Amino acid sequence: MDLGIAGRVFVITGGSRGLGLAAAEAIVGEAGHVVIVARNADSVASAVSTLGGPDFALGLPGDIADPATAERVTAGAVARFGRLDGAVISAGGPQSGSAMSVTDESWREAFETTFLGPLRIARAVAKAGTGSTGTLSGTDGSIVFILSTTAREPLPGLALSNGLRPGLAMMVKDLADELGPRGLRVNGVLPGRLATDRVFALDARLGAPDLVRRRHESTIPLGRYGEPAELGRAAAFLLSPAASYITGSLLPLDGGALRSQ
């Protein structure tokens, strides 16, 4: 199936590894272009190389918690590729800890990185209009937030994620309402236990990683952890014209583990 994103350009935050890189690989695999944003310059350069080099990807080191980053990367995308069609916004997971143990300073830092930073990127992308109507590509832009199943169900020991992800999930719907009349769709993906370094590190906190993984897999109807590439393909679909009537939606990607809809 041709998703119809060949030649389109998307900003990918947190795009140097993990789920962000998986989304970038899916987009480039459909002949799209990506602008990779992440804090570590060496990781950004490595991701650009993995994606095929500068003909396919532009790397812009930056921290989305910095208010200046959002407009810098959207301007960079338009300057390099001549257009901007949307974004995949991933901020990674905040530190672990309980509601009683996490400090006020950690809450403030997590809010900047996990909530306000992604919102700034979305606003900058929406304002970066390259079409005559002032929308992204004229009529069919798309933003995908990579969130977490903690937007629907809390996970023990992840108070920061439990507290912030639901609010950002509601921003998906709020932005979809506001930007829909301009031809810009906004959706979110709720990854569950996917085989990333972040999930493996969380598993290691709970005991022997192999045993912890098997215990978690026993609670997942599909009986396994997901692969980052599976999220990448879902994000590419939501960005594409193939999903042209989907907006304001939150798509669980969890093997059926969520008990709520």
The CATH number of whichever domain residue 74 belongs to comes to: 3.40.50.720
Q: How many domains, the chain?
A: 1
The identity of residue 94, as a single letter, is P
Is 105 a member of any domain? Answer: yes
Give the residue numbers spanning the domain of 181.
9-194+227-252
Report whether pLDDT(130) > 50.
Answer: no
Confidence of residue 151 (pLDDT cuts 50, 70, 90): very high
Bridge partners for 237 per DSSP: none
Rounded average pLDDT over 4-33: 96
Residues 179-222 pLDDT 10s: 999 999 999 999 999 998 888 888 888 888 889 899 999 999 99
In a domain, 22, yes or no: yes
Identify whether 209 is part of a domain. no
Structure tokens given for 122: 């979305």
pLDDT band, very low/low/confident/very high, at 96 (cuts 50, 70, 90): confident
CB atoms within 10 A of CB 209: 14
**Token pair 């026993």 is at which residue?**
218
Amino acid at 68: A
User: Is residue 239, in this structure, part of any structural domain at all?
Assistant: yes
169 belongs to a structural domain: yes
The reported pLDDT for the residue numbered 155 is 87
Greatest extent of the chain over all pairs of C-alpha atoms, in Å: 57
Give CA 78 to chain center in angstroms: 20
**Which strand ranges, in their side-by-side order, compose the sheet holding 33-38?**
57-61, 33-38, 9-13, 86-90, 141-146, 184-191, 250-253
